A and B are shown apart, each in its own frame.
Chain A
Amino acid sequence: MSKKIIIELKNVWKTYQMGEIQVHALRGLTLKVFKGEFLAIMGPSGSGKSTAMNMIGCLDVPTKGEIFLSGKDISHMSESNLAQIRGRKIGFIFQTFNLLNTLTAKENIKLPMTFQDIQSEDREKKAEQLLEMVELGDRMDHKPTEMSGGQQQRVAIARSLSNSPEVVLADEPTGNLDSKTGERVLDFLKRLHKEKGTTIVMVTHDRKVAEQSDRMEYLKDGIIVKNLKR
Chain B
Amino acid sequence: MNSDLIIHSVKSLFTRKTRSFLTVLSILIGIMAIFTLISFGLGLSKYVTEISTEMGVDKLVIQPKSFGGISIPEKQMSQDDVDFIANVKGVRDVTGLMIQSAKIQPDEDTKPKYLFLMGFTTEKEEKEIFLELMTVDLYSGRMLKKGDKLKVILGYNYQLPNKIFEKSIRLGEKILVNDVQVEVVGFFESVGNPQDDSNIYMTYEGVEELLGEEQGYEWIMARVEPGEDPKALSEKVFEKLRKFKDQEKGKEDFFVQTFQEQIEMFTNIMRVLNAVLVMIALVSVFVSGINIMNTMYTSVLERTKDIGIMKAIGAKNSDILIIFVAEAGVLGLIGGIAGILVGYGISSLAGFAVAQAGYSFLKPAFPLVLIIGSLLFATITGAGAGMAPAIQASKQEAAESLRYE
Chain A contact residues, CB within 8 Å of chain B: 54, 57, 59-60, 79-80, 82-84, 86-88, 92, 94, 98-100, 102-103, 107, 110-112, 114-117, 120, 123, 159, 163
* With A59-B402, A120-B4 as contacts: A84 and B316 at CB distance below 8 Å: yes
Kindly state the separation between the CA atoms of A159 and B313 in the bound complex, as whole angstroms: 9
Do residues B4 and A100 form an inter-chain contact, with CB atoms below 8 A? no
Which residues of B sit under 8 angstroms from A80, Cβ to Cβ?
316-318
Which residue from chain B places its CB closest to the CB of A171 in the assembled complex?
A: B402
The answer on a CB contact under 8 Å between B309 and A57 is: no
Within 8 A of A (CB), among B130-164: none
B88 at the interface (CB under 8 A from A): no
The interface residues of chain A lying within 8 Å CB-to-CB of B317 are 79-80, 83
How far, in whole Å, are A41 and B286 apart by their CA atoms in the complex?
54
Residue in A closest to B401 when the chains form the complex, CB atoms: A59
Secondary structure of the A contact surface, majority rule: helix
In B165-192, the 8 Å CB interface with A consists of: none
Q: Chain A: which residue is nearest B305 at the CB level? A: A98
Partner of A59, one of B306, B315, B319, B398: B398
- Assuming the contacts A54-B399, A117-B2, asked whether A103 and B313 have C-beta atoms less than 8 A apart, the reply is no
Whether the pair A114, B399 counts as a contact (CB closer than 8 A) is: no
The contact sample of 29 A-B pairs, CB cut-off 8 A, is A59-B311, A59-B399, A60-B397, A79-B317, A79-B397, A82-B398, A83-B398, A86-B311, A86-B312, A86-B313, A86-B314, A87-B313, A87-B314, A94-B402, A98-B309, A98-B312, A99-B309, A100-B309, A102-B8, A103-B8, A110-B4, A111-B310, A112-B314, A114-B5, A115-B315, A115-B319, A116-B314, A120-B3, A120-B4
**Docked pose: A110 CA to B5 CA in angstroms:** 11
**8 tightest Cβ-Cβ pairs between the two chains A and B:** A87-B314, A115-B314, A112-B313, A60-B399, A59-B399, A83-B316, A114-B4, A54-B399
Shortest CB-to-CB span from A125 to chain B, Å, is 15
Tell me whether B247 is interfacial, beta carbon within 8 Å: no
Chain B residues with a Cβ under 8 A of chain A:
2-5, 8, 11-12, 15, 305-306, 308-319, 397-399, 402
Interchain CB contact under 8 A, B313 and A111: yes
- CB neighbours (8 Å) of B5 from chain A are 114
Q: How many A-B residue pairs have CB under 8 A?
A: 76
Shortest distance from the beta carbon of B7 to any chain A beta carbon, whole Å: 9
Chain A, residue nearest B314 (CB): A87
A110 cross-chain contacts in B, Cβ below 8 A = 4
In the bound complex, how far is the Cα of B2 from the Cα of A94, in angstroms? 26
Given contacts A98-B312, A100-B310, A102-B15, 6 further A-B contacts (CB under 8 A): A80-B316, A83-B316, A86-B311, A103-B11, A111-B313, A120-B3
Which residues of chain A are near B319, meaning CB under 8 Å? Answer: 83, 115
Q: Are B11 and A102 in contact (CB under 8 A)?
A: yes
* Residues in A neighbouring B12, C-beta threshold 8 A: 102
A115 / chain B contacts, CB cutoff of 8 Å: 310, 313-316, 319
User: In the assembled complex, which residues on chain B have CB atoms less than 8 Å from the CB atom of A111?
Assistant: 4, 8, 310, 313
Task: Give the residues in chain A near B305, CB-CB below 8 Å.
Answer: 98
Residues in A whose Cβ lies below 8 Å from that of B8: 102-103, 107, 111
Residue of A nearest to B312 (CB): A92
Bound-complex Cα distance A87 to B316 (A): 9
Q: In the assembled complex, how far is the CB of residue A160 from the closest CB belonging to chain B, in whole angstroms?
A: 8
If the complex has contacts A103-B11, A114-B2, A120-B4, are A98 and B314 also in contact, measured as CB distance less than 8 A? no
- Of A99, A115, A116, A117, most buried by chain B (CB within 10 Å of CB) is A115
Chain A residues contacting B318 (CB-CB under 8 Å) are 80
Complex contacts, B308 vs chain A, CB 8 Å: 98
Of A60, A79, A84, the contact of B314 (CB 8 Å cutoff): A84
Once A102-B15, A114-B5 are accepted as A-B contacts, the answer to whether A79 and B313 lie under 8 Å apart by CB is: no
Residue of A nearest to B11 (CB): A102
Which residues of chain A have C-beta atoms less than 8 A from B11's C-beta? 102-103
CA distance A57 to B176 in the complex (A): 99
